[in-house]
């Protein structure tokens, strides 16, 4: 299985994969502050054993439960390992 999304994302913190959909947590890409600890996320999708970043965000509703499950796992992980910011986001410190 090849994780093709890794080529474009160098600040990955954690990955959650379901049967077809997954969630990747990464540090915010901030050119002015490369040490910005804010956590961002994006969705990945599986096709023929390879994982790609979702470019369209469109998927069959059949996969909605799988997506929600991975988002829930990601949220629970963030709540446990990250610090909530006053603005409502989350920060991760290595």
Check pLDDT > 80 for residue 65: yes
User: Cβ contacts of residue 43 below 8 Å, gap of 6+?
Assistant: 21, 22, 23, 24, 53, 54, 57, 67
How many other CB atoms sit within 10 Å of the CB of residue 26?
A: 19
**Which has the closest alpha carbon to 67: 77, 58, 78?**
58
pTM: 0.87
Average pLDDT over residues 49-68: 90
* Proportion of the chain above pLDDT 90, given as a percent: 57
Average pLDDT over residues 77-91: 93
How confident is the model over 7-28, as pLDDT tens digits? 666 788 999 999 999 999 998 8
Domain limits, the chain = 2-34+47-57+65-91
């Amino acid at each position: 299985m090849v994780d093709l999304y890794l080529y474009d994302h160098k600040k990955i913190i954690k990955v959650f994969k379901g049967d077809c959909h997954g969630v990747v947590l990464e540090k915010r890409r901030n050119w002015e502050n490369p040490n910005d600890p804010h956590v961002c996320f994006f969705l990945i999708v599986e096709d023929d054993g390879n994982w790609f970043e979702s470019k369209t965000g469109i998927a069959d509703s059949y996969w909605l439960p799988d997506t929600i499950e991975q988002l829930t796992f990601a949220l629970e992980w963030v709540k446990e390992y990250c610090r909530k910011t006053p603005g409502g986001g989350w920060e991760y410190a290595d």
